[in-house]
């Protein structure tokens, strides 16, 4: 068990490093299955991937993308849903992009079927992840065990507050999310975690150097044999000095 941490000078360098990691997997395996997150952090990475695709540097046309989570309740064209996020920001052209339907009548059945289909298709080759201010990974909020599986989960109030702008106001942010569980994420062959900005420094230190605990679900990622944290200098500012 080893956690690799790469500290990058800024958001631009982080996006280039994350895009390198994605492209390395896709070049090795053109039909790779990629789990991709939403959030502010990966947007420059997705722009970098779009540019590399349009310049012919990488071909995603056989790749398959899986959302790692989605809100439960709103219709899929509601601004703020992850479906809307992928449409706006992930402007590459894979063979398929799968996301649980936010307006599924039975969200529990929806997310179970989604995760079962993902597993049946062979599981993820690479899962890119962000980390929430409270240590969440996908929608696995504090209290999530390392054995958690795909489920409908309540969103932390602090997380809902972070999504208020995307939905237009706090009261429009759904209270429930559909998410892959920590155990599902840990089954991906490779994990790459992105963290950016000074406000993430405390939780990044807790996740990488603190105890592995339900209190910071991102701390479970160290259980994976091939996990790399790509962290900008501001988010890395509280980490102990290290070689990489």
Residues identified as active-site: 69, 134, 136, 141
Interacting residues with ligand PGA between 110 and 169 (CB under 6 A): 130-132
Interacting residues with ligand PGA between 4 and 43 (CB under 6 A): 37, 39-41
- Two tokens at 200? 């993430």
Interacting residues with ligand PGA between 166 and 195 (CB under 6 A): none
Smallest gap, in angstroms, from Cβ of residue 24 to ligand PGA?
22
* Cβ atoms 47, 136 nearer than 8 A: no
Among residues 59 and 87, whose Cβ is nearest to ligand PGA? 87
Annotate each residue in 71-110 with x if it binds ligand PGA (CB under 6 A) or - if it does not, as one string: ----------------------------------------
Among residues 39 and 94, whose Cβ is nearest to ligand PGA? 39
Q: Closest Cα partner for 65 from 124, 149, 151?
A: 124
* Cβ atoms 14, 194 nearer than 8 A: yes
Among residues 99 and 131, whose Cβ is nearest to ligand PGA? 131
Smallest gap, in angstroms, from Cβ of residue 104 to ligand PGA?
22
User: Whose CB is nearest to ligand PGA?
Assistant: 39
To which residue do tokens 């590399």 refer? 52
* Cβ atoms 25, 36 nearer than 8 A: no
Number of residues in contact with ligand PGA under rule CB under 6 A: 7
Among residues 41 and 102, whose Cβ is nearest to ligand PGA? 41
What is the spatial distance between Cα 183 and Cα 217, in angstroms, rounded to a whole number?
11
Class of residue 116 by CB neighbours under 10 A (exposed 0-12, middle 13-18, buried 19+):
exposed
Q: Closest Cα partner for 16 from 55, 58, 44?
A: 44
Smallest gap, in angstroms, from Cβ of residue 132 to ligand PGA?
4
* 123 CB neighbour count, 10 Å cutoff: 16
Smallest gap, in angstroms, from Cβ of residue 28 to ligand PGA?
26
Query: CA-based angle 83:13:95, to the nearest 5?
Result: 35
Judged by the rule CB under 6 A, the positions of this chain that interact with ligand PGA are 37, 39-41, 130-132
């Amino acid at each position: 068990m080893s956690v690799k941490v790469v500290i990058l000078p800024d958001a631009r360098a982080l996006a280039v490093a994350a895009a390198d990691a994605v492209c390395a997997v896709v070049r090795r395996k053109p039909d790779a299955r990629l789990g991709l997150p939403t959030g502010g952090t990966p947007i420059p990475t997705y722009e970098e991937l779009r540019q590399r695709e349009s310049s012919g540097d990488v071909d995603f046309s056989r790749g398959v993308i899986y959302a790692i989570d989605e809100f439960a309740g709103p219709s899929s064209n509601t601004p703020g849903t992850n479906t809307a996020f992928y449409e706006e920001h992930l402007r590459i052209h894979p063979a398929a992009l799968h996301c649980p339907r936010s307006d599924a009548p039975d969200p529990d059945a929806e997310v179970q079927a989604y995760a079962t289909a993902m597993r049946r298709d062979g599981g993820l080759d690479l899962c890119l992840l962000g980390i929430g201010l409270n240590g969440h990974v996908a929608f696995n909020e504090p209290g999530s065990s390392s054995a958690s599986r795909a489920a409908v989960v309540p969103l932390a109030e602090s997380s809902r507050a972070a999504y208020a702008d995307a939905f237009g106001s706090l009261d429009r942010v759904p209270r429930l999310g559909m998410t892959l569980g920590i155990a599902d994420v840990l089954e991906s062959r490779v994990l790459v975690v992105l963290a950016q900005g000074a406000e993430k420094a405390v939780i990044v230190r807790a996740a990488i150097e603190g105890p592995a605990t339900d209190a910071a679900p991102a701390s479970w990622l160290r259980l994976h044999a091939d996990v790399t944290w790509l962290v900008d200098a501001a988010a890395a500012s509280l980490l102990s000095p290290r070689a990489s």
